[in-house]
Amino acid sequence: MNMILNNIFSQFAPNIKFLLPITVIAITLNISWFLFINNQNWLPTRINNIHNLLIQTSVNTIFQQANPNTAPWLLPLSSLFFLILSINIIGLLPYAFTSTSHISITFSLGLPLWMAVNILGFYLAFNSRLSHLVPQGTPPYLIPLMVLIETISLFAQPLALGLRLAANLTAGHLLIFLLSTTIWTLINNPTIATLTFIIFILLFVLEIGVACIQAYVFTALINFYLNQNL
């Protein structure tokens, strides 16, 4: 049983390829698509138009609840969204490594951003941030309990950021791995193998949507925390 579980989770092991950690290679490949959108001509190509439409639609969707105080954060959060999106999408390709399926990567992204947002919020409006620990109209005898609950929920935010992204991607990759293994196992039974392959294709399309949604949710949550602090 241990051998089977190790084989299932072996795809998430940070192996070494070409004397380099595979995470470094994966991230380099994931951001290499920026080389194809550098327009050197005065007339935009179809790729440039699609790229500009994608950026405009994504930014409008993510920051539809933004306020003027968060405008300086627009560029870094947009870059974060497209970085996570590219890693998630390319990670679905064969022989590609999804670095965002590791909590070491997701927490490395989520924890510093959460700390920066909250430190900035307490620095700009310390009294206002403290008042959020006690909702308006709370009875006096419930104030200590509400402060404790709100404090726990505050420190649970980076855990939610890191675990949500890694857990959803890991679960999807495991399902794809199990279905692909089942297809090869049932290759001698064309009927069942064909039905399993159809389910695999539908699951793969679903995982593309999950990859996009998780990148959106991660960035939207950072933007939401930022709106609460500014």
- List the single range of 11-15, 44-48, 80-84, 86-90 with lowest mean pLDDT: 11-15
Q: Is the pLDDT of residue 17 over 60?
A: no
Q: What would the mean pLDDT of 88-103 be, rounded to a whole number?
A: 78
Residue 127's pLDDT is 72
Q: What would the mean pLDDT of 1-18 be, rounded to a whole number?
A: 50
Q: Domain range spanning residue 72? A: 2-229
Q: Is the pLDDT of residue 192 over 50?
A: yes
CA–CA separation, 169 vs 173, rounded Å? 6
Q: Is the pLDDT of residue 98 over 70?
A: yes
Q: How many domains does the chain have?
A: 1
CA–CA separation, 219 vs 135, rounded Å? 26
Residue 197's pLDDT is 86
Q: Is the pLDDT of residue 91 over 70?
A: yes
Q: Is the pLDDT of residue 163 over 80?
A: yes
Give Cα 42 to chain centroid, integer Å.
35
Cβ-defined contacts of 129-138 (< 8 Å, 24+): 129/229, 132/228
Q: Is the pLDDT of residue 42 over 70?
A: no
Q: How does pLDDT run across 172-185, given as a tens digit for each residue?
A: 888 888 888 888 88
